[in-house]
Structure 1
Amino acid sequence: MSKALLKFVRLSPTKARLIARQIQGMSAELAIASLEFTPNKAARVLSKVVASAVANGSLDAKSALIVSCRVDAGPVLRRSIPRAKGRATAIRKPTSHVFVEVAEGKEMKSSKSHKKNQAEGK
């Protein structure tokens, strides 16, 4: 089992978690391929972290399985922007810590239609 961790990346944790949930349980090769065509900053960041986790374990991307993909909130950079009448409002620039764990194994995650068919007993 190999791991990769990227800390203090300027990315909203809530937006990154949407992408992280999609790739959990996928094979690393399939996850990287799907992230490549996702038009999102979080997808680009997660793709690099998954590739790093595979390289850290000297694994083959086809046989590597994403066991865990977690995005935690990092510190928030606080900035201010001038407003009318001499006031200022705060701007929050969130950061994230991205953690990916990869292991050798078969693909567990299947398509939604396959899961639906299994639930219906087809």
Structure 2
Amino acid sequence: MAKGHRSQIARLRNENKDTRPSAKVSYARVSVTKACFVLDAIRGKDVTTALGILAYNNRYASSVIYKLLKSAVANAENNNGLKADDLYVAECFANKGPTMKRIHPRAQGRAYRIEKRTSHITVVLDEKK
């Protein structure tokens, strides 16, 4: 645990903050495992290649991640003043979100549970050296 005055701790927190452009979607209606298949395909690629991969991938998660990547590029251009041609996907990951539980009626009065999983997907870009 950090010791010091509240302002000193806040100053240290701001110094250690990640300045790379990023975008995050919370509560995306896609499971983590399905999102990770698509994220593994674009990790480390430059932005134009990654957008091309996502555009022609027929998984549902690719359409969600396509929008997310476009948003991260827009953040980089507007907030950090970077060019889209110089960017690549430095990090991309999906974390588990809350699961919506639904009931499906079955024979003889039974009920099966349907779990509709959600995820929080993050894309972090960086400039090519």
TMscore range, shorter length:
0.7 to 0.9
For structure 2, which runs of at least 5 residues remain unmatched after alignment?
A: 1-19
**Which residue pairs with 2:28 in the alignment?**
9
Counterpart of 1:37 (choices 51, 56, 69) is 56
* Higher fraction of helix: 2
Partner deviation per Cα, 1:45-93 (whole Å, 9 max, x = no partner): 1111111111111133321111000011101000001100111010000
Give the alignment's TM-score, normalised by structure 2: 0.79
Count residues in correspondence.
106
Identity %: 36
Give me the whole-angstrom Cα distance separating, in 2, the residues matched to 1:32 and 1:87: 46
Give the alignment's TM-score, normalised by structure 1: 0.83
* Higher fraction of strand: 1
Give me the whole-angstrom Cα distance separating, in 1, the residues matched to 2:102 and 2:91: 33
Match status 1:50 vs 2:47: no
Match status 1:69 vs 2:92: yes
Give me the whole-angstrom Cα distance separating, in 1, the residues matched to 2:117 and 2:104: 16
Structure having the higher Rg: 2
C-alpha RMSD of the superposition: 1.0
